Amino acid sequence: MPSGSDTTEEAVSGTTPDGPVPSARTGSPASPGRPGRARRLLAFVRREAQRTGLAVVFGVALGLAFPPYGLWPLSLVAVAALSLLTRGRTARQGAWTGLVFGLPFFLILLKWLHVVGWDAVVGLSIAEALFVALLGAGLAVTSRLPAWPLWSACLWVAEEWARDRLPFGGFPWGRLAFANTGSPFTPLAALGGAPLVTFAVALAGTLLAACAAALWALRGNGTVRRAVTALEAFGLAAAVTLAGLLVPVPTKADDSVDIAVVQGNVQQAGMDFLGRPMKILDNHATATEKLAADIKAGRAKKPDLVIWPENSSDLDPFQYPQAYDRIDEAVKAIGVPVLVGALVDHPSKKGYVFNEGIVWDPKKGPGASYTKQHPVPFGEYVPFREQLSKIITRFQRVPRDFYPGDHTGLLNVGPARLGDVICFEVAYDEIVHDTVGAGARALVIQTNNATYGRTGQPEQQLAMSKLRAVEHGRAVVTAATSGISAVVAPDGRITHRIPEFTQGVVSARIPLRDETTLADRVGAAPEWALAIVGLLSCAAAVIVGRRGRTKDEKGQQ
């Protein structure tokens, strides 16, 4: 008699070796043939209901590990939970668990996109959760291998490697490392960057899962061996967690420079933050002139340079004389070079603009500049604009496409050699790494988060600045139009900060460093190595599984 999951030729034709099968009447029970796709799906959902609920809960927990909540220990708990929920499962079951784990995680992490529209939140969350579905499948198939916590941790790195690059250059938000910018894992960034931090967090979490699995097994057979296994796994998890505390974070300065960061503020938060033309520019110019007046009156110390944020000039100063003159007045008033953020029309491609940081000298005027290399898809440019704009009219609110730059942001701003990184670029390893490699002695993150003010997004981006400071051993200065503007020391500590939607100026002395970290020297090698090991472990698990099935089939014969 064929099993319920098989459909024999006789069943299809309506006959059996003993004669014809009576036809089924309407409403009679279904024949014991293969169930339809809908029935199989319903049965799958019922079987996975409890596991699905747990995956959703721990996906939410992972979201709470990130700013603005910042409960980083939950990242370990969430990793451990996903490992246990996929352990011993099929690839398909693991993929489903990964998907329902990843979707609530990204919904919480990316809820700041609701300013654009909740459909954008859901759409991007689904796209990102698909990568976690692949991770879940990988965790399931490798869970039967010896040393499975190690392979699982490598797979977390592989998942982030793919998500950081695909599609349209990737979207690195939600890396485990970015939830651990103030935890014992953070110093590991100086050795291997964000990928090593992710690996360590994932390894500690999967080792906790191994400990929990061994303790659960003690219920049925409390052998000494299993107790020792549980203790070993817990001890290794603790060792991995605390290992970062032994890593020296270099902070000794070769030189220093006095800076002032101007946060001019905007008229309102949201998509229409620009307000009337020249308003944002005038805010930053006025705040700079007020600082100049305080210096003249002896109430403030004169800086060596001033930093304005991204889009601090809301008009192209090379196309609008009033914008040029307003910047020039403020720069001459302060009497030191100012790094100005502005959108500049492309000289030859109509409809394209550069997102630039421009060094503006009080005597020579505008000089060297840096153009953002990685514009945000669907935010700063629209792929397939002609086709998509007909379907999604919201894209018409992005009237011009940002044109990417072709070089790093190494700029001489007064006496300092700074590395300029614009807004979301701080999330991309290679852009920051190349900027430091080019000779940047400190980093500047020019950003405009006014669209996402008071949504948690500025806190998430500031956390990335903290990790970059440790990773490269550089002071990181974040200059934002509406906040959060801050100064981060090379050890990741925030030393100065201006709250959101507050006009203000931060004055600080920042260290300038020439020494590079091990992470600077090894670059992306650790990430590639760990990701490749993770993928190879999946291949090994598939091969081992096939050999096991072949042996079983031969044994049955």
Q: Mind telling me the catalytic residues?
A: 310, 372, 423
Amino acid at 369: S
Cβ pair 513, 252 in contact under 8 A = yes
Q: Categorise residue 384: left if φ over 0, alpha if ψ from -120 to 50, beta otherwise.
A: left
CA atoms within 13 Å, Cβ hemisphere of 332: 9
Question: Other CB atoms closer than 10 Å to residue 525's CB: what's the count?
Answer: 12
536 contacts 163 by C-beta, under 8 angstroms = no
The letter for the amino acid at 306 is V
First-to-last C-alpha distance (Å) of the chain: 19
Q: Can you say how many angstroms the Cα of residue 479 is from the centroid of all Cα atoms in its chain?
A: 20
Q: How do beta strands 416-422 and 442-447 pair?
A: parallel
**Of 457, 461, 467, which is closest to residue 424 (Cα–Cα)?**
461
Structure tokens at 159: 């998942």
Whole-number Cα distances in Å, 139 to 63, 80, 507: 20, 11, 49
- Gap between the Cα atoms of 195 and 149, Å rounded: 17
Quick one: DSSP state of residue 252?
-
Residue 381 near residue 375 (C-beta atoms within 8 A): yes
Contact assessment for residue 140 and residue 87, using Cβ atoms and an 8 Å cutoff? yes
Tokens of 418: 């700074």
Q: Are 72 and 28 in contact (CB under 8 A)?
A: no
Q: 129-132: long-range contacts (C-beta < 8 A, 24 or more apart)?
A: 129/98, 129/99, 129/102, 129/103, 129/105, 130/99, 130/102, 131/102, 131/159, 131/162, 131/163, 132/98, 132/99, 132/101, 132/102, 132/105, 132/159
Report the length, in residues, of the chain: 557
Say which DSSP state 482 is in.
Answer: S
- Calpha distance 278→95 (Å, rounded): 51
